[in-house]
Amino acid sequence: MKLANINQFFLLFLLSFTSLAIWELGCVVPSQITKAQINEAPDGTNTVTRIQNNNVNITGGTPSGTNLFHSFQQFGLRSEQTAIFNVDPTIRNILGRVVGGEASIINGTIQVTGNANLLLMNPPGLFSDKMRV
């Protein structure tokens, strides 16, 4: 196969995948947009969320070495909201999982105190049209 054909095939595949993702986003967003909130999961990870005005302060969690684990039942932000992960300076990685079974709609801002990396995982997906990290 010539290089030009491979590039065309890849472009077509990428376009198809992007179209599917946009279509799925259109199906998910309207039903979930009203549920823009963050709730900790009752699973013993000790995640604590406190809402103050438009800020959601996230503390607690379960430390393991330089990693910190958080668990959420729901994780979503409206455009005017900010989620702030407050962590000890010794933490290098924050691993947050969303276990409630619904996609996360994140239109607000996510901040981390210190220099920790943040990995947010949700099997049904993380969606946004204005996410700022």
Amino acid 68: pLDDT: 97
Amino acid 132: pLDDT: 57
Binning pLDDT at 50, 70 and 90, where does residue 130 land?
A: low
Give the total residue count for the chain: 133
- For residue range 42-61, what is the model confidence (pLDDT) as tens digits? 998 999 999 999 999 999 99
Q: What is the pTM of this model?
A: 0.70
Q: Which residue has the higher pLDDT, 4 or 51?
A: 51
Nearest to residue 72, comparing CAs of 49, 106, 105?
49
Mean pLDDT, all residues of the chain = 81
Please state, in angstroms and rounded to a whole number, the distance separating the CA atoms of residues 36 and 101. Answer: 14
